[in-house]
Amino acid sequence: CLWELLLRHSAHELDADIGVVISNHQDLRPVAETFGIPYHYVPIEPENKLDQEQKQLELLKDADLVILARYMQIVSANFLNHFPNKVINIHHSFLPAFKGGFPHKQAFDRGVKLIGATAHYTTLDLDDGPIIEQDVLHCTHRDEVSDLIRKGRILERNVLLKAIEAHLDDRVFVYKNRCVVFND
């Protein structure tokens, strides 16, 4: 997802200022550096989570939008209070099905005929925030988990980009736990 966002941004297809990439994975540093975006590695462990989250908040003090991709952590109420309806998570399944980790394996085990991706605003409840954008692809009994992951990555990139664009264009209205997204 990061490659896609930064490519679109460099091609002037995403009207946003990307000020920083913060990750709990070191492997994304070369991606950010390729595009000249400051990169900060902030590893998260249960014993340092609140301190690390405070570091993230300091780095994000001027941010209007936060994207969670591959983060795989539940953010605190304190973090979310700094960014109400401004933290978008990309989930690699068609929510509300297959919440949490390993959704492709869950989908494979159930023999689904569609896989999907969901971009939603982050809440304290895991993968349960207001849904901004979703999409699906057909799959068959011949697809292995690796096929579902590969197909899902394409969906994730497109769904996340559409959700970001809708948010940045002020086309998303949150009411209770639902989003109304106006056409562009």
Cis peptide upstream of residue 84 (ω within 30 degrees of 0): no
Indicate if 127 belongs to the active site.
yes
- Phi and psi at 173, nearest 5°, equal -120, 120
100: DSSP letter: S
Of 51, 127, 143, 184, the catalytic one is 127
Closest CA to 87 of 31, 42, 129, 26: 129
Evaluate the omega torsion of the peptide bond into residue 96 and state whether it is cis, within 30 degrees of 0.
yes
Give me the active site residues, please: 127
